[in-house]
Structures are given as C-alpha cells and as structure tokens.
Copies of this chain bind each other. A is one copy, B any other.
Amino acid sequence: MLRYFIEFSYNGKNYFGYQIQPKDISVQEELERALSTILQEKIKTTGAGRTDTGVHAKKMFAHFETNQVLNNQLTHKLNSFLPSDISIKRIFEVKDDFHARFDATFRTYEYYISLEKNSFTQDSAWQHWRKPLDINKMNEACKILFEYEDFTSFAKLHTDNKTNLCKMYKAEWEQNGTELKFTVSANRFLRNMVRAIVGTMVEVGSGKIQPEDVRKVIEDKNRSSAGTSAPAHALYLVDVGYKFD
C-alpha cells in the first residue's frame, strides 16, 4: 500500500467538528466521501487531530492509504467534488509508517478578536467591542502559561485523554488596527483548551481578574476556575508541524 498525506483547509461554520460521527455532518466525512467516490474504493483517513464544532482550519493534514498512484490532478478533482467550505491544497506520498497524528511535532492555533464592530468578520472574529481589552495584561498572563505543563484547568471534563500535559511553545497577543490575534503553539492541545485559555485571557484583559490570577487558575487543576470558553467561530488551526524527511 502507498501512504499519502493530504493538506487542506476548511471553514468549520457548517460542521459538527472535524471528526467523523454517527449522526452529524463532519469535515472528515465529506473528505472521505470525496476521496472514496473519486478513487472508487473505500478510503479511510487519519487526521492530525480534531477540531470542535464551528472551529476552522487554515492548514490541516490527514493520511490515507491506497494502491493507486496519485498525481496532482486529484487535487483539482477533489476541489470540484467537495463543497465550497473544504479546499484541498496538495496531496503527496510519504513513508508508509508516517502518521498524521503521531508524527506531528506541534500544532498552532490563531484566535481573532475584533475591538470594533466589524460587519465583515462576524463569522470569523469574536466581536468584542462593547468593552475595551488591555492587551498588555493579556500578554503578561501569557508568560505564566510557560511555567506550567499540566493544563487540566483548561481541558473539557470527561475526555479520554490519558494525560493533561502539554509543552507550550508560543502564546502571544498581537494588535493590528482594531483586530487582536492570539497565536498559541504547543506539542499538543487538550479538548477545548484554546478557547478556555482565550476566555480566561479576556477576563484578564477586561480587568475581571489580574494576570497573576492565572497562576491560581492553572494550579487549581479545575476547569471551573478558568474563564468561559471563547466562541468557536473565531478559532483557527493554522499549522501542524512535521519532519517529512
């Protein structure tokens, strides 16, 4: 069997998350249907991870196997077959044990907040213009994240994760005009973790808690200590790291 990687993006608005489910529509289901139809054999994919309902991906990977030799025309055929909210970037062969999930060395997410009412980013950024946010305090709080590895406080309860340990590589807010962008990178993320971190950061930015309070939030190892999850529609998976050679 040949193993292929597929790089793609999707607008998560109309999906109940990335991962295939018995009832609700998912990105993975659409992807496997397209691959199976065009290749005329049953194709199963393994994704780099999963994203929740409504969350987007600008760069996502999955792997699949087939005996067929594939070329780049498949990208165009898949894009024609798939709905407009899933776009294939490229398909390329990898070593036959290279794994989209286990060989990923990091994941990077971005979260967008609009500080001004913006009618063009309603579906892509959190419209947070009613109250100001102090980005400096939010960045102070970011620094505290690097002192910890156990992020139980930011994890959804009752998941099947064996550990709640993550290595944080980057966590930073940047302001561009009236838009805030949060970039966060780690070896792995727990379910709901980025949105829980953003929700907590926004509590810091709006003065509800102080940057130093984030220390206690993390040490509590209790989801209810952290802030409410930020809305899903403003969260993007933007990169997954691999060493292909």
Q: Which residue of B lies closest to A57 (CB)?
A: B119
Task: Report chain B residues within 8 Å CB of A80.
Answer: 130
Partner of A124, one of B9, B56, B79, B120: B120
Task: Report chain B residues within 8 Å CB of A119.
Answer: 9-11, 84-87
With contact pairs A129-B79, A130-B80 given, residues A56 and B120 touching in the complex (Cβ less than 8 Å)? yes
A122 touches B11 (CB 8 A): yes
Task: Report chain B residues within 8 Å CB of A10.
Answer: 119
What is the copy number of this chain in the assembly?
2
**CB proximity of A31 to chain B, nearest CB, Å:** 12
**CB proximity of A237 to chain B, nearest CB, Å:** 13
B-facing residues in A1-29 (Cβ within 8 Å): 9-11
Inter-chain CA distance A129–B124, complex, in Å, is 23
Residue A117 lies at the interface, judged by CB distance under 8 Å to chain B: yes
B9 touches A84 (CB 8 A): no
Inter-chain CA distance A119–B27, complex, in Å, is 12
Chain A's interface: helix, strand, loop or mixed, by majority?
loop
Partner of A84, one of B85, B86, B116, B122: B122
A120 touches B84 (CB 8 A): no
A87 touches B117 (CB 8 A): yes
**CB proximity of A13 to chain B, nearest CB, Å:** 9
Question: Would you give the 0/1 interface string for A53-89, flagging 1 where the beta carbon is closer than 8 Å to chain B?
Answer: 0001010000000000000000000011000111110
**CB proximity of A115 to chain B, nearest CB, Å:** 12
Task: Report chain B residues within 8 Å CB of A124.
Answer: 120
B-facing residues in A95-118 (Cβ within 8 Å): 116-118
Q: What are 18 A-B pairs at a CB distance below 8 A?
A: A9-B119, A9-B120, A10-B119, A11-B119, A11-B120, A11-B122, A56-B120, A58-B120, A79-B117, A79-B129, A80-B130, A84-B117, A84-B119, A84-B122, A85-B122, A86-B119, A87-B116, A87-B119
